[in-house]
Amino acid sequence: MISNIPKWAGGLLESLVGQRAEVIATIHLSPYLKKVRFQANISRMNFQVGYASVIRVNETAYRNYTVAYHDSRAGILDIIFHIHGNGPGSEYAHSLRVGDQLYISSPRGHKVYDPRKQRQFLFGDETSLGLACSLLPFLKENKHTFAFYFELDDINKNVPASLGLENYSIYPKNQLFSDEERVRELPICVDSDWIDANFVLTGNVKAIQTFRKVLKNNGASHLYAQGYWLQGKKGL
């Protein structure tokens, strides 16, 4: 999905594929992470782990967001926004209040969950927490062996626990995941039992590239990579 389109085209797009939603609750998980609950008629939406919905964040800009939780019968869905103060998506999410209305597209994208793999691994940062929340119920229901690695700012390190996530390790943002040698020493890369796992790498593009290279060199073949942001670039 392109990140910017003309205002008139945006209006047409929303009328064709958008679903009007209302903000019914907001909660700050930390000063920089905000969970917003929307209510809408989502009964016909196709929710798959890894799919993202498009939201119009100003007159011409659009951003993709993973749905962290949904209940089609109740008509509710949750999105976790990273409020980093550096772009129209962050500014728009920060401004959302109960009663606000907007259009949300039906989720689409690539499936990242492969139930055939006993071991499942997810790497990401603040932008990946919604994906982890949507994935967790399937991992537990199907009794997978799983692990989450999160690269988080110190102020956000308690958020995974508040979201009820399990089997996670938290790493500081100290360039670890940009250093191949240090990545090779991570437990997930050292333990040969994980070579055949379903690896899902998300978040920071540069960190993903390093992690993916190390895993491939180790013999991992079932890899899914999706960059959510890149330093100096807007609108991934």
Same domain, 224 and 132: yes
| Residue range(s) defining the domain that contains residue 95 | 7-105
Indicate whether 236 pLDDT > 60. no
Q: How confident is the model at residue 231 (pLDDT cuts 50, 70, 90)?
A: confident
Same domain, 123 and 210: yes
Same domain, 43 and 133: no
Average pLDDT estimate for 43-61: 90
Please give the residue that has the higher pLDDT: either 60 or 181: 181
Same domain, 18 and 47: yes
Same domain, 125 and 91: no
Q: What is the pLDDT of residue 86?
A: 75
Total structural domains within the chain: 2
- Residue 38 resides in a domain: yes
Written as six digits, the tokens of 110 are 């690539």
- Residue 83 resides in a domain: yes
Of the three residues 105, 138, 167, the one that is the final residue of a domain is: 105
Same domain, 139 and 196: yes
pTM of the model: 0.91
